Amino acid sequence: MSHPAFAEANAPYDEARFVLYGIPFDGTSSFRAGSRWAPDAMRKVSYNFEAYVHDFGVDLERVPIHDMGNCETSVGVGDTLAETCALTKGIVNAGKVPIMMGGEHSLTYACVEAFRGKVGVVVLDAHLDLRKEYRGAKHNHACVSRHIIEELTDRYVALGVRSGTQEEWAFVRDHPELKFYTADDICRRGIDAVLKEVDAYFSGCDRIYLSLDMDAVDPAYAPGLGTPEPFGITPRDVRAVVGGLAPKAAGFDIVEIAPEYDCGEITAVLGAKLIRYFIAAKWKSMNKG
């Protein structure tokens, strides 16, 4: 492993209930690449925090967490997705919760695929990511949600969206069975009201996959991004989503942090904190009754 493990990720793989792994791949990122450096950036700053997460009364020292380190990636996105899917499948089939640290958003397709598609999907993202293909590549990071919707799930929620082409917004209009909440919707209505609706939407669904494209957050709070988009949601809103959905979430990822553009590690700190928050929320729900 190139970098010390994520803080408190001290359990051996066999005993772990949570498995962290980095996929340092940013091969299709078009504007500012560099999300390949994010897993180690988050590991480094993870030592900043107390092990005790007060909101859930959970001491992460006592939670069986394992960090597999960074996985070797291929040059091509296709091979990288296949490797990511196989790795994630192994974790899922062993009854553990996978937490993928990207890398770029295209990787999320492989993580959802590992559940054989039998999950609802929640994506936090500034971008719709609904293109069929981009720059000649199907699995460009700008297309990930489209392929997840068309191939892997029929229950899909996007939160914090505010950027897309005219065709992508037409797709949103044409699919009322999917839920898209813009950053303005969340700002206007409040995250609790939105989460209530999301909860009802997933009532017939026993597990979901949660993906955080960090650019959902306003770049004022998260400057280290490949594709920053102003007028985003707040870290507090994201935390509410992570805490609220963790009980139902069978897997989680954080993608698209670009440490080279970060200011004083603000974005990596936020990412590392949200991973810890997710684990604490999920662990509490696993140990209820």
C-beta closer to Mn ion: residue 44 or 105: 105
Task: State how far the alpha carbon of 140 is from the alpha carbons of 21, 108, 133, 161, 229, in Å.
Answer: 21, 11, 7, 18, 18
Among 127, 139, 146, 284, binds Mn ion (CB under 5 A): 127
Find the part of the chain contacting Mn ion (CB under 5 A) among 74-82, 124-132, 170-178, 244-252: 124-132
Residues 220-239 that bind Mn ion (CB under 5 A): none
Nearer to Mn ion, 28 or 46 (CB): 28
Is 168 a binder of Mn ion (CB under 5 A)? Answer: no
- 192: CB partners within 8 A, 6+ apart: 240
Instruction: Pick the stretch among 73-81, 109-117, 169-177, 208-216 that binds Mn ion (CB under 5 A).
Output: 208-216
Peptide bond into 103 cis (omega under 30): yes
Three-state SS string over the chain comes to: CCCCCCCCCECCHHHCCEEEEEECCCCCCCCCCCHHHHHHHHHHHHHHCCCEEHHHCEEHHHCCEEEEEECCCCCCHHHHHHHHHHHHHHHHHCCCEEEEEECCCCHHHHHHHCCCCCCEEEEECCECCCCCCECCECCCHHHHHHHHHHHCCCCEEEEEECECCHHHHHHHHHCCCCEEEEHHHHHHHCHHHHHHHHHHHCCCCCCEEEEEEHHHECCCCCCCECCCCCCCECHHHHHHHHHHHHHHEEEEEEECECHHHCCCCHHHHHHHHHHHHHHHHHHHHHCCC
Q: Shortest Cβ distance from residue 16 to Mn ion (Å)?
A: 28
Shortest reach from residue 204's CB to Mn ion, in Å = 26
- What is the smallest separation between the CB atom of 15 and Mn ion, expressed in angstroms? 33
* Of 40, 104, 113, 125, the one binding Mn ion by CB under 5 A: 125
Interface with Mn ion includes 213 (CB under 5 A)? yes
Residue 127 vs 239, nearer CB to Mn ion: 127
Question: 123 or 245, CB closer to Mn ion?
Answer: 123
By beta-carbon proximity to Mn ion, the closer residue of 66 and 146 is 146
Which residue among 215, 218, 253, 262 contacts Mn ion (CB under 5 A)? Answer: 215
Q: What angle do CA 92, 45, 64 make, to 5 degrees?
A: 35
**Residue of 43, 105, 239, 273 interacting with Mn ion (CB under 5 A):** 105
Tell whether residue 67 is a contact of Mn ion (CB under 5 A).
Answer: no
CB of 195 to Mn ion, least distance (A): 21
Q: Is 284 in the site for Mn ion (CB under 5 A)?
A: no
Q: How many residues bind Mn ion (CB under 5 A)?
A: 7
Q: Compute the least distance from the CB of residue 284 to Mn ion, in Å.
A: 29
**Any contact of residue 147 with Mn ion (CB under 5 A)?**
no
Nearest to Mn ion of 113, 129 (CB atom): 129
Q: Which residues bind Mn ion (CB under 5 A)?
A: 105, 125-127, 129, 213, 215
